[in-house]
Structure 1
Amino acid sequence: MYTSATPKTPASSPASLLRQTGAGYFPIALIARLPFAMMVVGVLTLVVAARDSIALGGATSALTGLGTALIGPLLGAAADKYGQRPVVLIAGLVNSGLLALIAWLAFSPAPTSTLLVIAFLIGASTPQVAPLSRSRLVGIITRVYPRPRAARVLNGTMAYESAADEMAFVFGPVVVGLLATTAGPTAPVVGAAVLAVVFVTAFALHPTATVRAADAAPASRAPVRELFRFGVLVPVAGTLGMGLFFGSALTALTAFMAERGAPEQAGLVYGAMGLGSAALALAVALFPARFTLAARWTTFGAVLAAGAIALGLVASVAGMLVTLLVVGIGIGPTLVTMYTLAAGRAPAGRSATVMTMLGSGVIVGQSAASALVGALAESTGAGTALWMPLAAAAIVLGAGVANALHTRGR
Structure 2
Amino acid sequence: MSSPSRPPSYIAVLRTPHACRTFGAALLGRLSYGTVFLSLILALTGTTGSYGVAGGVMALFGIASSLLSPLRAGLIDRYGARRALPPMAVVYALLLACLAVATWRPGTAGVPLAALAVAAGACTPPLGPVMRALWSELLPDRLLLQRAYSLDTVAEELLFVAGPLLAGLLAALATPAAGVAVSAALVVIGTLALVSSPALRAAGTSRAGDGPGEGPAAGAAGDPDPGPIPSRLRWTRDAAGSGGGLIQPVMVSGGVGMCLGALSLLTVVFAERHHQAAAVAWVEAALAVGSALGGLIYGALSWRVSEQVRLPLLAAAMGLALAVAGLSPDLYVLVATVGVTGLFVAPALTTAYLLADESAAPENRTRASAWVNTAFNTGSSAGTAATGLLVGNLPLALCFAVAAVPALLSVTATLGRLRRSVTVSPLER
Shorter-chain-normalised TM-score: which range?
0.7 to 0.9
The answer to whether structure 1 residue 224 and structure 2 residue 232 are counterparts is yes
Deviation at 1:338, TM superposition (A): 0.6
Q: Does 1:339 align with 2:336?
A: no
Q: Flag the 1:234–1:316 CA change in 2: closer, same or farther, 3 A.
A: same
Deviation of residue 287 (structure 1)? 3.0
Q: What fraction of aligned residue pairs are identical, expressed as a percent?
A: 23
The corresponding residue for 2:96 is 99
For 1:39, the equivalent position in structure 2 comes to 36
CA contact (8 A) 1:62 1:370 kept: no
Task: Flag the 1:393–1:207 CA change in 2: closer, same or farther, 3 A.
Answer: same
Gaps (5+ residues) in structure 1?
1-11, 143-149
Q: Deviation string for 1:7-55 (max 9, x for gaps)?
A: xxxxx99x96533225422222223222123334544455567667666
CA RMSD between the two structures: 3.9
Deviates more, 1:86-95 or 1:206-215: 206-215
For residues 375-390 of structure 1, what are the structure 2 equivalents within 5 Å?
A: 387=400, 389-390=403-404
> What is the CA–CA distance in structure 2 between the aligned matches of 1:31 and 1:166, rounded to whole Å?
14
Match of 1:204 in 2: 195
Residue pair 1:311, 1:386 contacting (<8 A) in 2 also: no
The change in CA–CA distance for 1:153 and 1:300 in structure 2 (over 3 A counts) is same
TM-score by length of 2: 0.75
- Structure 1 residues 313 and 384, CA gap change in structure 2 (3 angstroms): closer
AA in 2 matched with 1:236: V
Q: Distance in 2 between matches of 1:129 and 1:220?
A: 21
Provide the residue aligned with 2:299 in structure 1: 285
Task: Work out whether residues 80 and 204 of structure 2, in 8 Å CA contact, stay in contact via their aligned partners in 1.
Answer: no
1:297 to 311, 317, 320: 311
Higher relative contact order (CA 8 A, sep 6+): 1
Alignment match of 1:247 (pick from 251, 256, 261): 261
Q: Deviations over 1:75-114 (max 9, x none)?
A: 2111112110232212222223333433454563333333
Give secondary structure in 1 for the equivalent of 2:350: helix
Which residues of structure 2 form unaligned runs of 5+? 217-229
**What does residue range 48-63 of structure 1 map to in structure 2 within 5 Å?**
58-63=55-60
Change (3 A) 1:251 1:355: same
Find the aligned partners of 1:375 and 1:87 in 2 and give their Cα distance.
41
* 1:20-169 correspondence runs (5 A): 20-44=17-41, 46-47=43-44, 58-105=55-102, 108-142=106-140, 150-169=141-160
Deviates more, 1:225-234 or 1:277-286: 225-234
Q: Distance in 1 between matches of 2:388 and 2:51?
A: 6
Aligned to 2:77, the other structure's residue is in SS state helix
TM-score computed with the length of structure 1 as normaliser: 0.78
| Aligned position for 1:7 | none
Q: Secondary structure at the match of 2:125?
A: coil
Contact residue 140 and residue 212 of structure 1 kept, 8 A? no
1-structure distance, mates of 2:161, 2:296:
14
| Aligned residue type for 1:223 | S
Structure 2 residue aligned with 1:195, among 173, 186, 196? 186
What amino acid maps onto 1:235 in structure 2?
Answer: P
Q: Cα–Cα, structure 1 residues 403 and 293, in superposed 2: closer, same or farther, change >3 Å?
A: farther
Residue 227 of structure 2 corresponds to none
Residue 407 of structure 2: aligned partner: 393
Shift of 1:200: 2.8
What secondary structure sits across from 2:148 in the alignment?
helix
**Structure 2 CA distance for partners of 1:58 and 1:337, relative to 1, 3 Å:** farther
Deviations 1:105-145 (CA, angstroms, capped at 9, x unpaired): 45633333333333322321211111100111212334xxx
The Cα of 1:327 is off from its aligned counterpart by 1.8
Match of 1:171 in 2: 162
Task: Please give the alpha-carbon distance, in whole angstroms, between the structure 1 residues aligned to 2:276 and 2:39.
Answer: 18
**How many pairs were matched up?**
389
